[in-house]
Structure 1
Amino acid sequence: MRLKIECEVRVENDTNRVSGNRILNTMDRLNSSPRLMLVSDLDHTMVDHHDPENSSLLRFNALWEAHYRQDSLLVFSTGRSPTLYNQLRKEKPMITPDIAIMSVGTEITYGKSMVPDDGWVQFLNQKWDKDIVIEETSKFPELKPQAETEQRPHKVSFYVQKDKAQSVTQALSKVLEGRGLNVKIIYSGGIDLDVLPNGAGKGQALAYLLKKFETEGKPPLNTLACGDSGNDAELFSIPGVYGVMVSNAQEELLQWHSENAKDNPNILHASERCASGIIQAIGHFNLGLNLSPRDVSDIGREDSSPSLEIVNFALLLEKWRRAEIENTELFIAGLKATVLPSGTYIHPSGSVYNIKEYINMFGKVYGDKKGKQFRTWVDDVLATQLAPGTWLMKFNKWELCGEERKGCAVTSILSKKDSDWYTLVHVHQTWLEHSGQGEWFL
């Protein structure tokens, strides 16, 4: 309860005073309040490091891009520094969040460019002196400093043995308080100990964002927080927030739940791991559709949307190349029926093709990824209606085969007349910066 009060009071008192980056760029694409604001931890929550196929993460990606990206907000809240966060994005098939909360709630950034929130930085500077923290923690031999990349302006991080954590935390708190600092010490993962400004943390960062959205006149209709470890407990303490502890949640989070929230119906201990548990929670709390396109064996055309069409087309090509669907003339004919006969396709290399003629080449790649860890996913799908029945689609398309990763920025045009299927009119692809290049097939 103490955490809940601190979050409400501090943000209420400081939001109007703190200047800095506004969040209009994040919110401009939304005509109204976000339908769902999903706030998720990464390691062992969104990302399952024991799933080499990344199955649950890819299921979530397809669900979000098909049914939520257009009118909702995705927030990643991680203990990782920006350096390790970007490293994880290179290793795993992750989609791009609208907002990233990093370094255990001490850094907030917006959009693809990760623009920092200067107002949050100013807020955290109060009663914080990193030099004093370093000086005093150096007197505790039990604390082993983490890598330099994990030492941030408002976070000093250590490793500590589990049996030493409680005594060190209590002693260090008294010492730093005596030096005039107002700090918070978070122990998580059975080994990580972080010293932060008392106003920092994942919960405080979320409360700060919710207050800013309210100030902009677009508070989320629903918010779902997702986590697995002790540093996620604060997320579940924010008033009005739904919470899910994934099935593989760690002991310290389960203990917190037992002591503080076991009778709270808005917090679920999922029966499924990681991102699959997040999908489960969306359905459990009736926050929206929780059937991922990857869970649909027969891709139909009913209740489709431009975003779902893009996701499904990418999944069809993945299944084709993995030989998970039958190689028939009927399949090729069905693909041709979904494109404009005079439509154009511009390959990342710059070569220009007639779309229908390009589809004739699909037979060459059938099953070429069979038995391999080959996956495709789309990211940051944005649909803009140009005219009745016509949409401009912009997104990134990625392929991962083993450790080889390639990506393209895609611009396409879809059209739809009355109850007809969506028709692909135009596709233009360009290689993404820092992406591997070479073989690429739509």
Structure 2
Amino acid sequence: MTAFLFVTDLDNTLIGDDAALKELNQHLEQHRQEHGTKIVYSTGRSPALYRKLTREKSLLSPDALITSVGTEICFDPQEEIVDQEWADVLSQGWNRDAVVAIAAHYSDLVPQPDTEQRPFKASYVLSEEISSELLPRLESSLKEKGLDVKVIYSGGQDLDILPQKGDKGLALQFLRQKWDMDATKTVVCGDSGNDIALFSAGEERGIIVGNARPELRQWYEENKKDYHYFAQAHYADGILEGLYHFGFLA
């Protein structure tokens, strides 16, 4: 067994089955101690909501934390110091005020709480019923204003507008290069739309948990690769299933 880079979404991927989470934590911590495996959480949550989750669930301390849908990276979650190198990448061409001004024209976009509004992320709640009609209009408005941004809709309600160079997958690539970890020694895990960026970043081994949202299921069916695995089991149990499938655990 050798070191690998383990990257996972939190809500409804790592989190959802406490017994399975405990078992997975034991395997991962042992692997980290014996082989130097690195553990990364990649979440849509803000740092504040991540801290809240750590008080509710038994999570291992990660080697790096990707928050706010890939727009913030922290190498020491205890200190909560955002990596400036990654922030510099995202700041190029980003105009958050202009993004918010355009979004304000759409009354169906309900701003998420202040804690979820981040320097490189404008976040809203959008009902699934009208999303297919509103999203193309929003993207067109942003483009007309010359804003090179990325619109990510996930979980049937969460809408995030990010810099073009920011998402979970690009943040993963940044870490992988920083740590010189090969794609074949990297595994990513997720359940929803904002995790598609993790699975489409490169040839990293991907585990889609059995309880995945419809948007990720559809993407998987349309983009099948032999290095992507759709687990039968749910939550952390599905991650374990995938780790055994790819041979990261034996």
TM bucket by the smaller chain?
Answer: over 0.9
Greater C-alpha Rg: 1
Would you say the 8 A contact 1:35–1:220 is kept in 2? Answer: no
Give the deviation of 1:171 after TM superposition. Answer: 1.1
Per-residue deviation, residues 74-104 of structure 1 (Å, max 9, x unmatched) = 0000000000001000011111110100000
Decide whether aligned partners of structure 1 residues 179 and 90 sit closer, same or farther in structure 2, where only a CA change above 3 A counts.
same
Structure 2: unaligned runs, 5 residues or longer: none
Which is strand-richer, 1 or 2? 1
Residue in 2 that maps onto 1:142: 108
The more displaced of 232-241 and 139-148 is: 232-241
TM-score under structure 1 length normalisation: 0.54
Residue in 2 that maps onto 1:233: 196
Structure 1: unaligned runs, 5 residues or longer: 1-33, 290-442
Give the deviation of 1:239 after TM superposition. Answer: 2.2
Residue in 2 that maps onto 1:273: 234
Alignment of 1:424-439 (within 5 A): none
CA RMSD between the two structures: 1.5
Amino acid at match of 2:3: R
Residue in 1 that maps onto 2:11: 43
**Higher relative contact order, chain-length normalized (CA < 8 Å, sep 6+):** 2
Would you say the 8 A contact 1:213–1:219 is kept in 2? Answer: no
Per-residue deviation, residues 282-324 of structure 1 (Å, max 9, x unmatched) = 11011133xxxxxxxxxxxxxxxxxxxxxxxxxxxxxxxxxxx
- 196, 200, 213: which is aligned to 1:250? 213
SS of residue matched to 2:15: coil
Give the deviation of 1:255 after TM superposition. Answer: 0.6
**Sequence identity percentage:** 39
CA distance in 1, matches of 2:229, 2:206: 6
SS of residue matched to 1:158: strand
Residue in 1 that maps onto 2:51: 86
Per-residue deviation, residues 272-291 of structure 1 (Å, max 9, x unmatched) = 111111111111011133xx
SS of residue matched to 2:173: helix
Amino acid at match of 2:47: P
Decide whether aligned partners of structure 1 residues 231 and 85 sit closer, same or farther in structure 2, where only a CA change above 3 A counts.
same
Q: Tell me, yes or no, if structure 1 residue 109 matches structure 2 residue 74.
A: yes
- Report how many residues are paired: 247
TM-score under structure 2 length normalisation: 0.94
CA distance in 2, matches of 1:221, 1:105: 21
Amino acid at match of 1:286: G
Per-residue deviation, residues 192-236 of structure 1 (Å, max 9, x unmatched) = 11010111110111112222223xxx6576000000001001111
Alignment of 1:94-243 (within 5 A): 94-111=59-76, 112-214=78-180, 219=182, 222-243=185-206
SS of residue matched to 2:93: coil
The more displaced of 116-125 and 167-176 is: 167-176
SS of residue matched to 2:69: coil
